[in-house]
Amino acid sequence: MANELIKRPDTTTAYVLWLIGFLGFFGLHRLYMGRWISGILYLFTGGLCFVGHIVDAFMMRRMIEDSANGQGW
């Protein structure tokens, strides 16, 4: 029953929020997936000097799966 209450993040929404990072709003995709600490860190550091933002493009599917399973940091 607990798994029914956890809403799986939408993949399209996560990628759109990631793309918004190119406009200067880094970390929105991480905030959407419940990764508050790293999301705020990305906001204040420009996506970890843009390197972390690019790495997230390859890690997005894994972050979505982890978020849906209640994992992540």
pLDDT at 10: 86
pLDDT at 29: 93
CA distance 29 to 8: 14
pLDDT in tens, 31-70: 998 899 999 999 999 999 999 999 999 999 999 888 888 8
- Sole residue written with tokens 């493009």: 57
3-state SS record for 30-71? HHHCCCHHHHHHHHHHHHHHCHHHHHHHHHHHHHHHHHHCCC
| Spatial contact of 22 and 35, defined as CB atoms under 8 Å apart | no
pLDDT at 73: 62
Residue 2 has pLDDT above 70, yes or no: no
